[in-house]
Amino acid sequence: MYVCICHGVNDKQIKQAVSQGAQSMRDLAKTLCVGTKCGKCVCQAREYLPSADAKRSVA
């Protein structure tokens, strides 16, 4: 499923970036350009970050 339409980035690519050490939106922007054009994908992309897991388990 595409997460970032502007740059053609899908969820698998984001998960792979996270497994390779991406920890923040800044990291995803650097590696995949996610969120660097229109920004509409940022909320969805954040869900794949490790910090989102931590927030979910607390809630």
**43 near ligand FES, rule: CB under 6 A:** no
- DSSP three-state, residue 59: coil
CB 1 within 8 A of CB 10: yes
- Tokens 């995949």 correspond to what residue? 32
What residues pair up with 4 in beta bridges, in sequence order?
A: 9
Using CB under 6 A as the binding criterion, the count of chain residues that bind ligand FES stands at 12
Interface stretch with ligand FES, choices 16-24, 36-44, 49-57 (CB under 6 A): 36-44
Smaller CB separation from ligand FES, 17 or 34: 34
List residues binding ligand FES (CB under 6 A): 4-7, 34-41
